[in-house]
């Protein structure tokens, strides 16, 4: 591939535009494995050693990957207010590899998982 700036253009997605994706991997670890010390400070009521999964999704439009981090409960009981429970409500099951998901652009042009 050759860098040709004269052929590049900026296209802003509209809020609400949908992008399909597929879960390609689920990485297991602790919060400190996925977050920097600065990011960890923003996760209130959590410890760096808390178990977590990082769900990686390949975007169908060829725009790369997007990931979502979930803190796992230590007692296997998921709070209905957690993002993990919201994922299950949106997609019918907890994250699994090859699961089809979709994301939406927000008003700032960023993709967000539908939870």
List the alpha helices (DSSP H) in the chain: 31-34, 37-42, 83-91
**pLDDT tens digits for range 66-111:** 999 999 988 889 999 999 999 999 999 999 999 999 999 898 888 8
**pLDDT tens digits for range 8-18:** 887 777 888 89
Q: How far apart are CA 22 and CA 62, in angstroms?
A: 12
What global pTM score does this model have? 0.83
Q: Where are the domains of the chain?
A: 16-113
């Amino acid at each position: 591939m050759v860098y040709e700036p004269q052929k590049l253009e900026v296209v802003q997605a509209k809020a609400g535009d949908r992008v399909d994706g597929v879960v390609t991997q689920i990485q297991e670890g602790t919060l400190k494995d996925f977050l920097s010390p600065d990011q960890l400070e923003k996760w209130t009521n959590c410890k760096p050693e808390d178990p977590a999964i990082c769900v990686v999704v390949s975007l169908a439009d060829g725009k790369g990957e997007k990931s979502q981090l979930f803190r796992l409960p230590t007692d296997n009981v998921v709070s209905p207010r957690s993002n993990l429970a919201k994922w299950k409500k949106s997609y019918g099951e907890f994250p699994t590899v090859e699961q089809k998901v979709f994301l939406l652009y927000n008003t700032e042009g960023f993709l967000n998982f539908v939870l």
